[in-house]
Amino acid sequence: MIVIVCPGQGSQTPGFLEPWVAEPWFREHLGALSDQAKIDLLAHGTTSDADTIRDTKIAQPLIVAAGLLTLRALLDDGRASFVGGVAGHSVGEITAAQAAGILSESDAMSFVAERGAAMAEAAALTPTGMSAVVGGDEAELLAVLDSLGLSPANFNGGGQLVVAGELPALEQLKERAPRGARVIPLQVAGAFHTAYMQPAVERLTAVAAELTPHDPVLPIWTNRDGGIVDSGADFVKLLVGQVSSPVRWDRCMEAFTAAGVTGIIEVAPAGALTGLAKRGLKGVASVAVKTPDDLPNAIELLTSA
């Protein structure tokens, strides 16, 4: 059983779409996605610098567009029938929703553009940030977070937890982290997946009401608790609520194990989720589709399972 996984914010790097747009049909597809998002994704995927594409309102549509490019190539010629399910990490859930047939490409791109803008505006209200904590005792870490007024944002599995909150508290965490834990500041502009994002939830609730979701044609797991969602309308509600609640990627990986997943394919900009799988899904084959050159290996894994 092969699952397609879709990465979240932070997976983008300058110029990562250059190998894709070298091929005319990928370039044409990206142009259509740019029109839907009302953002020049061609420029941001090829020539924009790291600071520019770190901007939430640019990063999120760029990441989803890259995933949609990959999906069209990967699932062409009826290969969707080989897919055992899909899941996305944070904003990657929008990519996964399109793969599962819940959202059209147009709805996915318009929604992610609104999500990125809404989260950027919410982040600007209070100086906040995020740090990855690797290693250490999780229960002890959660107690320290509570004492500092910080929140767990991404339970990534494999001993990695991303935390979020006000910048002075994140600085204090470096000194108070549990033994054996490393605290790594992340280059993001806000405390995503925490209560600081509530203004974005309010805005996206209205945006979601204008979408036309369909029930999924593939199994799709939610970041809320790792469960499978059967209703497209319910999944869209979860997409909105997830903006201010923790990502439980650890539970998604536990669900993959329980379902008997034997391989995962990560769409562009790939690498983060296959990296987590090496620690959290030992023995499960994986392919990270970073460029079109990786597509043959991904197709072979998908069709030979």
Please list the active-site residues: 90, 193
Neighbours of 233 (CB within 10 A): 15
Return the closest-CA partner of residue 112 out of 184, 176, 39. Answer: 39
Cβ pair 17, 63 in contact under 8 A:
no
Identify which of 91, 99, 33, 98 has the alpha carbon closest to the alpha carbon of residue 63.
91
Name, in order, each residue with C-beta under 8 angstroms of 10's C-beta and a sequence gap of 6 or more.
59, 186, 187, 188, 272
Short-list 170, 181, 110, CA closest to 141: 181
Residues 108/48, Cβ–Cβ less than 8 Å = no
Distance from the Cα of residue 280 to its chain's centroid: 17
SS3 category, 135: coil
How much helix, strand and coil, in percent to the nearest 5, is found in the chain? 50, 15, 30
